């Protein structure tokens, strides 16, 4: 019987999520700088950056490996694993 260490699976999932969110955060950083330069409202950008930063909390809340898989499959649609 194969036993999966859920704590280790959570750490692997969080690293994967961090890798996938990195380019998305970089885009938001550029948008933020441009908005600041233009004197535009940055609240939506800040909200999105916070959402991206908090994504790893989803893995912390998971209680099964199936939940971790669902998080990876559904958090960043269009990203292939």
80 found inside a domain: no
Domain of residue 31, residue span: 7-75
Count how many domains the chain has: 1
81 found inside a domain: no
Would you state the pLDDT for residue 77?
72
Instruction: Return d(Cα 4, Cα 62) in angstroms, integer.
Output: 14
Would you state the pLDDT for residue 79?
59
42 found inside a domain: yes
What pLDDT digit, counting tens, does each position of 26-78 carry?
Answer: 999 999 999 999 999 999 999 999 999 999 999 999 999 999 999 989 988 76
* 0.95 exceeded by pTM: no
CA 16 to chain centre: 9
Would you state the pLDDT for residue 80?
55
21 found inside a domain: yes
38 found inside a domain: yes
Per-residue confidence band for 2, with pLDDT thresholds at 50, 70 and 90: confident
How far the first Cα of the chain sits from its last, in Å, is 26
């Amino acid at each position: 019987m194969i036993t999966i260490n859920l704590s280790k699976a959570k750490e692997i999932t969080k690293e994967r999520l961090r890798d996938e969110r990195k380019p998305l955060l970089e885009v938001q950083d550029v948008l933020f700088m441009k908005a600041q330069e233009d004197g535009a409202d940055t609240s939506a950008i800040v909200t999105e950056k916070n959402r991206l930063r908090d994504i790893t909390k989803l893995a912390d809340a998971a209680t099964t490996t199936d939940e971790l898989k669902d998080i990876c499959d559904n958090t960043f649609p269009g990203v292939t694993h």
